[in-house]
Amino acid sequence: MSAKSIALTRRDFLKLTGGFAAFGFAIFAFRPQPTFPSILPPGAILPADLFRAQCQRCGKCVAICPHHALAQDATGTPYIDGLSGWCDLCLDCVRVCPTGALRAVDPKQFKLGLAEIDRDQCLAWRGNGCRLCYEKCEMLQKAIELDADVRVYVKSETCNGCGACVNVCPQADRVTKHKSTGRAVALKVLDNGNTG
């Protein structure tokens, strides 16, 4: 090393240590808490806090996802919201995940979350006769039902939270309680874990 380097004064030391501590703490304290808990990729069967500890934020799962269903939030944690694409449980993300944060699951059984319809926003519930999500879901899980008035219901036993209904929903009002989507249907985290 060169003979000429400057001495680390106590002030510098305090400044550096303080700066780093503040930086680290700020990240920890202000890490984005989604207004609603976000859906983690399939295979995130670990408890949510353990998933956050084990995920390296490498983004391999996002890069490989063939349906563009996954995205990384501001801290790099992958999530699914159904806006850019929906998950068909191909489990490519599980295959590429290097850390074991995502683990093999049975795609027939696994539930990512649950679709929840906002009846004030939904066009079918407002009587406009929209049934795009029903038609989409008929091809996939058959988890959306129509009643006599062509209003849509989600069957919570069959819905696996793939997000296809969010993806096709034409409603784009910003005024909705599911702020992150603006659609009349949003994915809800299941009670038994898998929360973000």
Residues that bind other proteins (CB under 8 A): 1-8, 12, 15-16, 19-20, 23-24, 27-28, 31, 49-50, 52-60, 62-66, 68, 71-76, 84, 96, 98-100
Residue 128 Cβ vs other proteins, minimum distance, rounded to whole Å: 30
- Interface of this chain with ligand SF4, residues 73 to 102, rule: CB under 6 A: 78, 96-97, 99, 101-102
Taking contact as CB under 6 A, which single stretch among the options 55-63, 127-135, 137-145, 153-161 is the one that binds ligand SF4? Answer: 55-63
Shortest distance in whole angstroms from residue 124 CB to other proteins: 29
Tell me which of other proteins, ligand SF4, none is bound by residue 2, counting a contact when its beta carbon lies within the kind-specific cut-off of 5 to 8 angstroms. other proteins
The β-bridge partners of 154 are 144
Q: Which of 37, 45, 48, 58 binds ligand SF4 (CB under 6 A)?
A: 58
Task: Decide whether 32 or 127 has the Cβ nearer to other proteins.
Answer: 32
The answer to whether residue 61 forms part of the interface with ligand SF4 (CB under 6 A) is yes
Which of ligand SF4, other proteins, none sits in contact with 80, Cβ below 5 to 8 A by type?
none
Return the half-sphere exposure (C-beta side, CA atoms, 13 A cut-off) of residue 41: 35
Residue whose structure tokens are 């209904």: 165
Q: Which residues of 163-182 are buried (b: 16+ CB within 10 A; e: fewer)?
A: bbbbbbbebeeeebebeebb
78 contacts which partner out of other proteins, ligand SF4, none, CB within 5 to 8 A by kind?
ligand SF4
**Structure tokens of 156?**
């919570």
Q: In this structure, which long-range contacts are made by residues 166-170, counting pairs with CB atoms below 8 Å and at least 24 apart in sequence?
A: 166/81, 166/82, 166/83, 166/86, 166/115, 167/82, 167/83, 167/84, 167/85, 167/86, 167/136, 168/132, 168/133, 168/136, 169/132, 169/133, 170/123, 170/130, 170/132
What are the structure tokens assigned to 149, written together?
A: 């008035």
Which residues here bind ligand SF4, judged by CB under 6 A?
Answer: 55-61, 78, 96-97, 99, 101-102
